[in-house]
Structure 1
Amino acid sequence: MNTLLSIETRNAVLLKMAKLLDEERKTIIEINKTDLEAYKGDDISMFDRLKVDDSKVDEMIAASKHLASQDDPVGVERFSFKHDNGMQVYNKTASFGTVLIIYESRPDVTVEAAGIAFKSGNKILLKGGKESLKSNLKIVELWHQALKEEKASTDWVEYLQFNRTETQAFLENPTQKVDLIVPRGGERLIAFVKQHATCPVIVSGRGNNFVFVEKDADVDLALKVIINAKTAKISACNALDKVLIDKNISNKPEFITTLISKLKEFDVEILGEDSLSKYKGVEKIQSNDIWYEEFLDYKIVIGEIESTEDAIAMINTYSGGHSASIITTNEAKAKTFMENIDTAAVYHNASTRFTDGGQLGLGGELAISTDKLHQRGPIGLQHLVTNKWYIHGNGQIR
């Protein structure tokens, strides 16, 4: 077992990592090009996540520096109590031990997610996808260099070059201690990990996010939010897939026609239920099952709804439990919506694209959990800890 590294060493490794990423920037981008050229799939969101350019390297550097500047999440006192018998009792945060991160296509996870887990005092096991192997191995090489230069064991970050069969075998019967698994990727990957894992899994679930345009909505604001949430980054799990429009909104035909034309400017495929498929540019949905789907593509479904209560019921039935937004000037309706929607993040008059650790003040994120235990929504540095009881006595017996 690795002895917990001092916070000074952990921070020094992260700052060294930022420096090495900058120095090796050209090499990382060149190596990533070979991964991009070798990718033969037709998943545009996978390709988007795989690509490393200057701005992506800048983000990795910023994440490492920011993590180094944050307080130590380990050993934070959460509760203290003086027992009648004189014992002093404390409850403090503690690292998990070893965190396995299984992810697809995103070389930046090798820096950001690993960095959060490392800063939280954990040993990191990384299992990336074959499509980003060369990029990942280069970044792990930099981790090892940073660790060596700060006199820390390279065991703190380990890359597992496993195929699917080997990964399954490791999940079912790990050859080393694993305390927590974080899958970062599509629904198939998450289902695979949950099926085979023998230790706790943090589920970074699907998006399938909804925007409800309530009858008292500011329509210009609604259009701005919908276009941003749908088109700004289609590969993100916080992107928008479904729009519900209040049947009683004023100037409804004009609003719907404007929405369609604005979405068409971005080549978004628009699907709609019966009442909306009569509009030019909207294709009729074939089955209600489509309301469950996460698209990660230039594709959206629009529907009409009778009331805020019906919108809440529909979102709670079909969404992925990630994010939902209400557009309205009616504060009471917004409050009802936000209190009753069962998603990790709820918005009033804002885009779902802000469900992100960096945007919500956490500095970065390991994952966005759609589970309710042990943490929901973006998992930042302060959430990647468990806790431990410290009891000091002088001979007390019970």
Structure 2
Amino acid sequence: MNTLLSIEKRNAVLLKMASLLQEERNAIIKINKTDLEAYKGDDISMYDRLKVDDSKVDDMIASATHLASQEDPVGKERFSFKHDNGMQVYNKTASFGTVMIIYESRPDVTVEAAGIAFKSGNKILLKGGKESLKSNLKIVELWHKALEANDASTDWVEYLQFNRTETQAFLENPTQKVDLIVPRGGERLIAFVKENATCPVIISGRGNNFVYVHEEADLEIALDVILNGKTAKISACNAVDKVLIDGNLPNKQAFIQKLISKLKEFDVEILGDEALSKNDEIEKIQSNDIWYKEFLDYKIVIGEINSNEDAIAMINKYSGGHSSSIITKNSAQAKTFMENVDTAAVYHNASTRFTDGSQLGLGGELAISTDKLHQRGPIGLQHLVTNKWYVYGNGQIR
């Protein structure tokens, strides 16, 4: 077991990592090009996540630097109690121990997620996808240089070059202690990990996010929020896939027409329910099962709904439990929606694209959890801890 590194040493490693990323910027981008050229798939969102350019390297550097500036999440007092018998009791945050991160195609995760887990006092096991192998190995090499420069063992960050069969075998019967697994990727990856893991798993779940245009919506805000959610980054789990339009919306037809033409500018495929597909430019959905699907593509489903209550019920049935937004000028209706929609993040007159650790003030995220234990939504540095009881006595027995 690795002894917890001092906060000074953890911060020094992170700052060294940031400077190495800057020094090796061109080498990382060049190596990433070989991964991109080798990628033969036709999944545009996978390709987008795989690509490393200057702005992605900037983000990696910013993430490592910001993490170094944050308070130590380990050893924070959460509760204290003086027992009648004189014992002093504290509950404090503690690191998990070893965190395994399984992810697809995103070399930036090798910095950001590993950095959060490292700053939280954990040993990191990284299992990236084969499509980003060369990029990931280069970044792990920098982690090892940063650790060595600070007289810390390179064991703190380990890359597992496993294929699917080897990964399954490791999950079922780990060859080293693993305290927590975080799968970051599609539903198939998450199902695979849940099925095979023998330790706790944080589910970084699917998106399938909804925007509800209430009858008292500001239509300009509605258009902006839907377009931003759908077209800004289709590979993001906080993208919008479904839009519910209140049947009582004034100027409903004009709004729908404007929305269609704006979406068409981005070549978004538009599907609709019975009510909406009367419009020639909207293809009728074949089955209600499509309401469950996360697209990660230029594709959207629009439906008509009768009330806020119906919108809430629809979202609670079909969404991925990630993010949802109501567009309305009526704050009481917004409150009802936000309190009753069962998603990790709820928005009033704002884009679901903000469900992101850095955007919500955490400085970065390990994952965005759609589970309810032990943390929901973006998991930042302060959430990647468990706790421990410290009890000080002088001979008390019970």
TM-score (norm. length: structure 2): 1.00
Question: Unaligned stretches of 5+ in structure 2?
Answer: none
SS of 1:228's partner is: helix
Q: Distance in 1 between matches of 2:65 and 2:220?
A: 39
Other-structure match for 1:299: 299
Other-structure match for 2:16: 16
Question: What is the aligned length?
Answer: 398
Other-structure match for 2:155: 155
Aligned pairs (5 A) from 1:98-137: 98-137=98-137
Q: Distance in 2 between matches of 1:26 and 1:108?
A: 15
1:41 deviates by: 0.5
Q: Distance in 2 between matches of 1:150 and 1:59?
A: 23
Q: Distance in 1 between matches of 2:36 and 2:115?
A: 24
SS of 2:275's partner is: helix
Which amino acid in structure 1 is aligned with residue 357 of structure 2?
G
The yes-or-no answer on 1:242 pairing with 2:238 is: no
Q: Distance in 1 between matches of 2:182 and 2:220?
A: 39
Q: Distance in 2 between matches of 1:197 and 1:385?
A: 20
Other-structure match for 1:371: 371
TM-score (norm. length: structure 1): 1.00
Aligned pairs (5 A) from 1:58-207: 58-207=58-207
Q: Distance in 2 between matches of 1:23 and 1:280?
A: 55
Q: Distance in 2 between matches of 1:332 and 1:55?
A: 41
Other-structure match for 2:323: 323
Question: Unaligned stretches of 5+ in structure 1?
Answer: none
The yes-or-no answer on 1:219 pairing with 2:216 is: no
Other-structure match for 2:233: 233
CA offsets 1:198-251 (integer angstroms, 9 cap, x no match): 000000000000000000000111001100010000000000000000000001
1:281 deviates by: 1.6
Q: Distance in 2 between matches of 1:136 and 1:280?
A: 47
CA offsets 1:174-211 (integer angstroms, 9 cap, x no match): 00000000000000000000000000000000000000
Other-structure match for 2:397: 397
Which amino acid in structure 1 is aligned with residue 62 of structure 2?
A
CA offsets 1:248-268 (integer angstroms, 9 cap, x no match): 000111000000000000100
Q: Distance in 2 between matches of 1:383 and 1:282?
A: 43
1:115 deviates by: 0.1
Q: Distance in 1 between matches of 2:116 and 2:357?
A: 11
SS of 1:274's partner is: coil
Q: Distance in 2 between matches of 1:85 and 1:330?
A: 55
Other-structure match for 1:55: 55
Q: Distance in 2 between matches of 1:107 and 1:280?
A: 42
1:280 deviates by: 2.9
1:274 deviates by: 1.4
The yes-or-no answer on 1:287 pairing with 2:287 is: yes
Identical-residue share of aligned pairs (%)? 85
Q: Distance in 1 between matches of 2:234 and 2:332?
A: 32
Other-structure match for 1:33: 33
Other-structure match for 2:359: 359
CA offsets 1:280-337 (integer angstroms, 9 cap, x no match): 3211100000000000000000000000000000000000000000000011110100
1:77 deviates by: 0.3
Aligned Cα root-mean-square deviation (Å): 0.4
Q: Distance in 1 between matches of 2:273 and 2:382?
A: 43
Which amino acid in structure 2 is aligned with residue 369 of structure 1?
S
